[in-house]
Amino acid sequence: MADPIGGFLNHGFAHMVHNRLRGVWVHGAPPEGSFIWAANHHSWWDPFVAAVLLSAAERPASLLMAQENLEKHKYLRRLG
């Protein structure tokens, strides 16, 4: 059974990405099969933008986060 709070958080972050950023540009489609997406800079938005874009492409995603950030933002554990 899916976590309803995690689903709510995912929907909320997708809404924030769509409404708070001026634009996101992606050159080309994600490669077939597994791949690693490494952001070129550190930003609060990077993992959420990646998750939203991969979700739109109907691709599963696993995102990494530094332990200290997970401890600081405990609600993010509900995202999966």
Global pTM value: 0.63
Burial of 51 (0-12, 13-18, 19+ CB in 10 A): buried
pLDDT tens column, 24-51: 788 888 888 888 888 776 677 887 888 8
Which sign does the torsion angle of CA 13, 18, 19, 24 carry?
Answer: positive
Q: Which residue has the tokens 């709510």?
A: 8
Which helix (H) or strand (E) segment is 7 a member of? helix 4-20
Cα–Cα distance, 46 to 48 (Å, whole number): 6
pLDDT tens column, 57-68: 888 877 777 888
